[in-house]
Chains A and B, each alone.
Chain A
Amino acid sequence: MALTFDLDRAWRVDPRVSLRPEPFGALLYHFGTRRLSFLKNQTVLAVVRSLDGHPSARAACLACGVTEAELPVYARALAALASSNMISERTPHDTRA
């Protein structure tokens, strides 16, 4: 199943998600869906945590040191998080929880 993700939109961690950093990366738990997600490295954790501080997911990735060559891998990761509602698109009316 191919996951598509728009890197050029603004995203944020869903307010119903609890994020717990771990040595391997992080655990995300969605209180609404009861799903767990594991982030497998510190860089993808940094990207996810910084999403709401950047105008786009691409900007967040680049700010966290992701190279252009690595962007597809991180886009797939973000797509997986979006498909499980761990992250959602940010609108101008969203306020940080």
Chain B
Amino acid sequence: MAEVPTTALPTTGHEAETDALASDELLVEEVSIDGMCGVY
């Protein structure tokens, strides 16, 4: 089986981050873990 070549992750530069921003982009995502099983 041929190996799938892995590629290095591109460096996250500010320009790349700028390009990805949209006017409704949310840079923060929130999660509540109350009630999650296995969380202490």
| Chain A residues at the B interface, C-beta cutoff of 8 Å | 23, 25, 34-44, 65, 67, 70, 72-74, 76-77, 80-81, 84
A41 to B14, CA, bound (A): 9
Assuming A42-B12, A42-B17, A72-B23, is B28 touching A35 (CB within 8 A)? no
B21 in the interface (beta carbon within 8 A): yes
Would you call A77 and B28 a contact (CB within 8 A)? yes
A-binding residues in B (CB < 8 A): 9, 12, 14, 17-18, 20-23, 25-34
With known contacts A34-B32, A65-B14, A70-B18, A44–B23 Cβ distance under 8 A: no
On whether the beta carbons of B14 and A37 are closer than 8 Å, the reply is no
Q: How far is the CA of A72 from the CA of B24 in the complex (A)?
A: 9
Q: In whole angstroms, how far apart are the Cα atoms of A66 and B34 in the complex? A: 34
- Pairwise interchain contact A34-B21, C-beta atoms closer than 8 A: no
- Cβ–Cβ contact B27 & A36, under 8 A: no
Roughly how many angstroms separate A40 CA and B28 CA in the complex, as a whole number? 6
Across-interface contacts of A43 in B (CB, < 8 A)? 14, 17
